[in-house]
């Protein structure tokens, strides 16, 4: 009888085993303790791109607010975010790019908060929507003034943030035009009125913060009557 080509006492390799690998002789159901098996199973997956980007921006925001843009280095940003420097340059070419991204983030968050507040009002209730615009805007500025001052206040760049301010003004103007269409008021220049409302609110918040005031609700309540008079709506509503 011909002898088998298999060496005596040497178990067959399990299906799927790599050529040359030490045979797996463990009983069925027992964990694989061979060298390298655990390391292969525990290899971490790369973080999704949106997560890495969020971590970079969060680190930059914290550093910019705490120590200023000029004093912050890219090395500090990547160290705090826990990513490689190459990851930074995958998304941004400079600190100025990060600053621009944070500016967009702040502005979009501001717009979203106001949209959500006005959406809770009846579409044809211009007075309620103006009140909601004021309350949400004041609260948003109070909550984010530190980042706001970093990304917008720079005397060397007077036009910085022009696109973002234009979006905020467009939102206010749309609110005023909707109120006018609903018969809540009559405005000869809705765009100019939006500018007055926006800068009035912005200036009032800046003044309150400079004085150490912290009550956003009280400030909003004090702004609503003059804002309603500005648009010609009843202040008692």
The answer to whether the beta carbons of residues 78 and 56 sit under 8 Å apart is: yes
Show the domains of the chain with their CATH numbers: 47-93 (1.10.10.60), 99-231 (1.10.357.10)
The residue with tokens 């797996």 is 24
Cβ count near 166 (within 10 Å): 11
Tell me whether residue 76 is exposed, middle or buried, using C-beta atoms within 10 angstroms of its C-beta: 0 to 12, 13 to 18, 19 or more.
Answer: middle
**Separation CA 168–CA 173 (nearest Å):** 9
What confidence tens digit (pLDDT) does each residue in 154-207 have?
545 555 668 888 999 999 999 999 999 999 999 999 999 999 999 999 999 999
Task: Tell me the pTM.
Answer: 0.74
The model's confidence at residue 29, banded by pLDDT at 50, 70 and 90, is: low
pLDDT more than 90, % of the chain: 67
User: In this predicted structure, what is the pLDDT of residue 42?
Assistant: 44
Tokens of 76: 């500090």
The answer to whether the beta carbons of residues 190 and 171 sit under 8 Å apart is: no
**Separation CA 8–CA 4 (nearest Å):** 9
Tokens of 155: 């005397």
């Amino acid at each position: 009888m011909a002898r088998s080509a298999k060496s005596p006492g040497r178990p067959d390799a399990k299906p799927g085993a790599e050529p040359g690998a030490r045979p797996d002789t463990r009983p069925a159901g027992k964990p694989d303790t061979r060298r390298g098996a655990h390391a292969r199973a525990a290899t971490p997956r790369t973080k999704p791109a949106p997560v890495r980007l969020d971590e970079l921006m969060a680190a930059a925001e914290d550093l910019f607010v705490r120590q200023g843009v000029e004093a912050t280095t890219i090395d500090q940003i990547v160290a705090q975010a826990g990513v490689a420097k190459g990851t930074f340059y995958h998304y941004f070419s400079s600190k100025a790019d990060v600053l621009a991204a944070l500016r967009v983030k702040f502005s979009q968050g501001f717009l979203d908060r106001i949209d959500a507040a006005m959406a809770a009002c009846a579409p044809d209730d211009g007075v309620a929507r103006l009140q909601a615009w004021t309350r949400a805007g004041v609260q948003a500025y109070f909550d984010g003034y530190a980042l706001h001052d970093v990304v917008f206040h720079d005397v060397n760049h007077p036009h910085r943030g022009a696109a973002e301010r234009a979006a905020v003004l467009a939102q206010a103007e749309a609110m005023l035009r909707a109120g006018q269409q609903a018969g809540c008021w009559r405005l000869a220049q809705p765009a100019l009125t939006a500018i007055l409302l926006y800068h009035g609110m912005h200036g009032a918040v800046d003044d309150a913060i400079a004085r150490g005031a912290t009550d956003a609700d009280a400030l909003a309540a004090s702004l609503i009557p003059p804002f309603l008079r500005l648009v010609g709506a009843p202040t008692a509503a």
